[in-house]
Structure formats: C-alpha cells, structure tokens
C-alpha cells in the first residue's frame, strides 16, 4: 500500500439539467485517477459535455462485489477514485453501498461531493409536510407484493416518498389509492429539471385518473409522495392495536388474523406476523 493511499469521492451528478452540476464536482471528476460509473456510456457523455477525459470503470448492481477489489487496489496505490451513478446522488436507490461499506471497514477515506438528488428536489416543491419523511425507494414490480408493501405503510404518519417508472406508474397510483384511500393527498413529480418537468399536488384518486387519461404523464421518471395519516387515522390505528392485543390471548394467530382482516380491510398476513410475534 502507498504511504499516501487514495480517497473515494462519492459525487452527485445532475438528474436532468446539466447546469446543476457543482463546480466542486467538476473539479473532482477532472482530478481523480479514474471514475467508477453505473453506466460508462452515460457518464462518458457527461464527461464529454464537461470537457473531461478520465478512465472509466463500470460499477453496477451486477458486478459491484467484484469491482470492489479493483477500486481498493487503485486506492492502495495512491490513486483517488470518484464514484458516480447515472443521475443524482450515488447509493440512493443506486449501486455503491457494498463499495463504501468495504472501504470504511478497511480504513480508506470516503468523501461526499453533494449535489442533485431527486428525492430532496421533489420534496422541496411538493407542498407536503417535509420535516419528517420516510423513503421507500422503488415499489415491488409484482402487484401482490406491491399491495403488501403499501398496506404496511398505510398507517405511516410521515410523508412517504417512493420512486416509480413510467410503465408502472398507473398501476402504482391505483394500488396507492386502494391502500391509503383515494382521498389521501399526494404529489407526483415527473422528469424533474428536464424539459417536460411536471409537479402536481392532488388526491390519489385524482392523480390516478389524470395519469390514466394522458399517456404523456406515463413517460419518464417519477417521484411519488403521499401525505402521512392525520391524527384521527392514528387514533384508529391505536384502536386496531388494542384489538390485536385482545384477540392474541383469545384465539390462535391465524384465526385472529383472518378476523382482523375482515373487520379492518387490512392484510391477514400482516396481522398474522404481528400476532405470531406476540404469541411467541
């Protein structure tokens, strides 16, 4: 290992508008020995726009485990490395976690170069409470798994932030309306910082109908934000919790879970897991 090991810079890049890259990010990308990129072709286009030429190393979800050794070797030789994703801040629903964790364990320096992040950008213009929020990333692709995930979030008091793709946006909005209630307030942010940027605050039913009626609103990349439950809904959840406590001692977990599902419209599987934990 070199007496002066290199450093990994985790560099945020634009999510659309190329003018959003910071002066510091440009300086770092131009000064490192190499750049680990989620898609080298995408990053090559950005570097060309910036007038930067640097060796690129692909690092994505399918090869991250083996690429860690390459990055460690470069740092051990005293070379600085930058990590970028296709857009926005690396590791936020993008590759890089395994690399950063391993470098932390081995004692290498890891430095953030902050910048664009679609989640924070969307929250800043949504008009929903942003003092406390929970980030769920991408919803499951399969309908049944998606419904279970959303049902588990139905009683969340914080603003819920999710990402979605164009070919699933309509189905996800319908599923959200079914799980959270169609009158729950939500915000859809599409193609942020790009030419067809769209931000709309409405109820889930209204958003679902709007997207279903306009094919243009089913194109691009989406951030979906749903307002948390109101105080009365939280009180209703407490009532359900009390009911679970009562039934846990009166009947077997599976039977109690089916009864709770009929009474509340919730998921029998979710209730069963809770009852089974209490029974154990």
Least confident of 92-96, 189-193, 208-212, 236-240: 236-240
Local confidence band at 3 (pLDDT 50, 70, 90 cut-offs): confident
pLDDT value at residue 236: 56
Mean pLDDT, residues 83-112 taken together: 97
177 and 76 in a common domain = no
Residue 156 lies in a domain: yes
Residue for token digits 């169609």? 182
62 and 149 in a common domain = no
191 and 131 in a common domain = yes
Local confidence band at 278 (pLDDT 50, 70, 90 cut-offs): low
Residue 221: name the closest of 197, 186, 187, 185 by CA: 197
Residue 99 lies in a domain: yes
CB 118 within 8 A of CB 221: yes
Q: Tabulate helix, strand, coil % of the chain (nearest 5).
A: 50, 20, 35
154 and 172 in a common domain = yes
C-alpha span between 20 and 36 (Å, rounded):
20
Least confident of 55-59, 126-130, 257-261: 257-261
pLDDT value at residue 247: 78
CA angle (129, 237, 143) in 5-degree steps: 75
The torsion angles phi and psi of 7, rounded to 5 degrees, stand at -125, 145
134 and 108 in a common domain = no
CB 192 within 8 A of CB 16: yes
Residue 2 lies in a domain: no
Last-in-domain residue among 81, 98, 116: 116
Stronger pLDDT, 241 or 21, i.e. the higher one: 21
Last-in-domain residue among 89, 116, 143: 116
123 and 91 in a common domain = no
Least confident of 53-57, 119-123, 271-275: 271-275
Last-in-domain residue among 98, 116, 134: 116
pLDDT surpasses 50 at 235: no
pLDDT tens, position by position, 159-178 = 999 999 999 999 999 999 99
Local confidence band at 2 (pLDDT 50, 70, 90 cut-offs): low
| CATH code where residue 39 lies | 3.40.1010.10
Locate 227 and state its tokens.
Answer: 């307002």
Mean pLDDT of the chain: 91
Local confidence band at 273 (pLDDT 50, 70, 90 cut-offs): confident
Range of 249's domain? 232-279
How many independent structural domains does the chain possess?
A: 3
What's the count of helices (H) and strands (E) in the chain, helices before strands?
A: 11, 10
Residue 181 lies in a domain: yes
CB atoms < 10 A from the CB of 124, how many? 11
Residue 42 lies in a domain: yes
pLDDT surpasses 50 at 252: yes
| CATH code where residue 143 lies | 3.30.950.10
Stronger pLDDT, 266 or 258, i.e. the higher one: 258
**Which strands form 81-84's sheet, in the order they lie side by side?**
56-58, 34-37, 81-84, 7-11, 109-113
Local confidence band at 260 (pLDDT 50, 70, 90 cut-offs): confident
First and final C-alpha spacing in the chain:
51
168 and 143 in a common domain = yes
Task: Quote the pTM value.
Answer: 0.80
């Amino acid at each position: 290992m070199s007496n002066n090991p290199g450093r990994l810079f985790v560099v945020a890049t634009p999510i659309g508008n190329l003018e959003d890259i910071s002066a510091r990010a440009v300086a770092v990308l131009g000064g490192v020995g190499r750049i680990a990129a989620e898609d080298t072709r995408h990053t090559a286009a950005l570097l060309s726009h910036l007038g930067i030429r640097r060796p690129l190393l692909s690092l994505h979800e399918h090869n991250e485990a083996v690429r860690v050794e390459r990055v460690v070797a470069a740092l051990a030789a005293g070379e600085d490395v930058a990590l970028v994703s296709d857009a926005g801040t690396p590791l936020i629903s993008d590759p890089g976690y395994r690399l950063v964790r391993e470098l932390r364990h081995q004692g290498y320096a890891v430095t953030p170069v902050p910048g664009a992040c679609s989640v924070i950008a969307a929250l800043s213009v949504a008009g929903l409470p942003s003092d406390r929020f929970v980030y769920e990333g991408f919803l499951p692709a399969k309908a049944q798994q998606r419904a279970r995930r959303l049902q588990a979030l139905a009683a969340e008091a914080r603003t819920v932030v999710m990402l979605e793709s164009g070919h699933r946006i309509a189905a996800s909005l319908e599923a959200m309306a079914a799980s959270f209630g169609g009158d729950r307030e939500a915000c859809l942010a599409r193609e942020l910082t790009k030419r067809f940027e769209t931000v709309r605050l409405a109820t889930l039913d209204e958003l679902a109908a709007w997207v279903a009626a306009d094919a243009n609103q089913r194109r691009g990349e989406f951030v979906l934000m749903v307002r948390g439950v109101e105080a009365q809904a939280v009180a209703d959840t407490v009532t359900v919790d009390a009911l679970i406590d009562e039934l846990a001692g009166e009947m077997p977990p599976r039977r109690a879970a089916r009864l709770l599902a009929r009474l509340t419209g919730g998921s029998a599987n979710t209730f069963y897991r809770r009852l089974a934990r209490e029974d154990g």
